Amino acid sequence: MTVQSAMATLGPSRRWRNWGRTVEARPAAVASPASPDEVAAVIRTARERGLPVKAVGAGHSFTAIAATDGVQLDISAIDGVLAVDGTRVRLGAGTNLYQLPALLAPHGLALANMGDIDRQTIAGATATGTHGTGLRFGGLATQIRAATLVTASGDLLRVSESENAELLPAVRIGLGALGILVDVTIECVPAYLLHAVERGERLDAVLDEWLDRVEAADHFEFYAFPHADGVSTKTNTRLPADAERHPAHPVSNWIEEVLVQSGVIAAMCQVSRVVPDVLPPLHRLATTLQGNRDFTDASPAVFTSPRYTRFREMEYALPVEAVPDALRAVKRMIAERDLRIGYPIEVRAAAADDIWLSTAHGRRTGYIAVHHYFRQDPTRYFREVEAIMRSFDGRPHWGKMHVRDAGSLAAAYPRFADFLAVRDRLDPERVFRNDYLTRVLGV
């Protein structure tokens, strides 16, 4: 593709908003390349015009990490399975996670672990360190075995365990700062089922047993209600693909996912804007009404569920042992400051890994995520929670709201300077810059 035709592919400016409605941008131009060559041509054109370039995935980051006033690259046309070699699957970088069950089924494969939704693209999810739960399982980026980028010079760069291998720990979680990913090779696992057990329990008991429970289970997580002592625990156990399935009853699924997780919480948030004192009794009621469920289904159906209500989110990664004290501190703070918080607090865990900017770098990790209804201002709540998380040596999720900058993040990541050196090498002119990257990485 020539530069002229690449210029022709730069579509007109249009308003862009992220899912959480925390970020709005008006890119100077939008391009929808369908091949690595077209990506390269757009990058060269943008550079000639002095415009930065930013790929956007599904816009599910709450931070401004995907925002640009330059050229926005929509790579959704670069998707699907490009090659399969045993359990290794090369995917177009714009593949959405919800496409994967159908794409991987013919090969009898699945992702080793997933977060709680499947809307993201594989490039966007891995670039920000998206994770699920399970102390024996790393985040999605730990499954990356190779990737192809188009660099700032417009060249194709292959990174794998045998090609430019020294770049792999940076490229796996690259924050969109190192180049445009056009494909990603993921280590999948044979397809499996999950037996899910959901229970209503007491917070103190769950926190007292936290370490034992995350160590014993394949995938353990819980949701704590800010104004009640109850928690909803989820324990998923891996089973072979030919085990007997007992999918959740559609009515119980609707009650849990639509009515409780989205409808009731949204209603609570709406009502509490007018009558703030309604939340504590409603949370106590919700913990009493909570149903216990057991079901067995294919892993993506158990890991993920739809989100019908918009919210804002901040999530911090802590040493896994720190979770009970940190969560108790958050609950104490909410009571002392007399805050009214509708959304439950989500608590998960992940294995340690060696990716330079992974929130789980070098330590077994517990995650505490706080949410706030999108029509309410989360500033005070998130600021107070962030102060607590920092006192426990917390690292913020790159795609979720936080106020940290390069100065404080450098101290949280032992290989931060190595990542910056790779950025200097691959993008010395900062073609892939935006305000968020300048804040969290420095110039």
Ligand X SMILES: Cc1cc2nc3c(=O)[nH]c(=O)nc-3n(C[C@H](O)[C@H](O)[C@H](O)COP(=O)(O)OP(=O)(O)OC[C@H]3O[C@@H](n4cnc5c(N)ncnc54)[C@H](O)[C@@H]3O)c2cc1C
Judged by CB, which is closer to ligand X: 228, or 232? 232
Q: How far is the CB of 383 from ligand X (least distance, A)?
A: 20
Interaction between residue 146 and ligand X (CB under 6 A): no
Interaction between residue 67 and ligand X (CB under 6 A): no
Q: Under rule CB under 6 A, how many of the chain's residues touch ligand X?
A: 33
Interaction between residue 176 and ligand X (CB under 6 A): yes
- Residue 153: CB partners within 8 Å, gap ≥ 6? none
Q: What's the one-letter identity of residue 306?
A: P
Interaction between residue 124 and ligand X (CB under 6 A): yes
Among 45, 120, 235, 290, binds ligand X (CB under 6 A): 120
Interaction between residue 113 and ligand X (CB under 6 A): no
Interaction between residue 138 and ligand X (CB under 6 A): no
Q: How far is the CB of 284 from ligand X (least distance, A)?
A: 26
Which CA distances in Å does 43 have to 27, 152, 154, 216, 263?
A: 14, 7, 6, 48, 43
Among 27, 57, 138, 378, binds ligand X (CB under 6 A): 57
Among 75, 196, 231, 286, binds ligand X (CB under 6 A): 75
User: Tokens standing for 372?
Assistant: 């706030």
Among 180, 188, 409, 426, binds ligand X (CB under 6 A): 180
Among 56, 141, 351, 409, binds ligand X (CB under 6 A): 56
Q: How far is the CB of 42 from ligand X (least distance, A)?
A: 12
Indicate the pairing of strand 230-240 with strand 24-25.
unpaired
| Residue for token pair 């794409």 | 103
- Residue 313: CB partners within 8 Å, gap ≥ 6? 20, 62, 369, 370, 371, 372, 400, 401
Judged by CB, which is closer to ligand X: 53, or 334? 53
One character per residue 304-333, x = contact with ligand X (rule: CB under 6 A)? ---x--------------------------
The span of 41-49, 51-59, 201-209, 418-426 binding ligand X (CB under 6 A) equals: 51-59
Q: Cβ(330)–Cβ(386) under 8 Å?
A: no
Q: How far is the CB of 79 from ligand X (least distance, A)?
A: 10
Interaction between residue 186 and ligand X (CB under 6 A): no
One character per residue 379-418, x = contact with ligand X (rule: CB under 6 A)? ------------------x-x-------------------
Judged by CB, which is closer to ligand X: 45, or 309? 309
User: Tokens standing for 275?
Assistant: 């009558």
Q: Cβ(431)–Cβ(68) under 8 Å?
A: no
- Residue 402: CB partners within 8 Å, gap ≥ 6? 63, 314, 316, 382, 386, 396
Q: In the window 93-112, what residues touch ligand X (CB under 6 A)?
A: 93
The span of 22-30, 45-53, 124-132, 257-265 binding ligand X (CB under 6 A) equals: 124-132
Among 22, 45, 61, 72, binds ligand X (CB under 6 A): 61
Interaction between residue 264 and ligand X (CB under 6 A): no
Among 117, 159, 168, 317, binds ligand X (CB under 6 A): 117
The span of 29-37, 43-51, 116-124, 201-209 binding ligand X (CB under 6 A) equals: 116-124
Among 43, 51, 53, 60, binds ligand X (CB under 6 A): 60
Q: In the window 10-39, what residues touch ligand X (CB under 6 A)?
A: 19-20
Interaction between residue 46 and ligand X (CB under 6 A): no
Among 131, 219, 234, 371, binds ligand X (CB under 6 A): 131
Judged by CB, which is closer to ligand X: 176, or 228? 176
Where on the chain is the footprint of ligand X (CB under 6 A)?
19-20, 54-61, 65-66, 75, 93, 115-117, 120-121, 123-125, 127-128, 130-131, 175-176, 180-181, 307, 397, 399
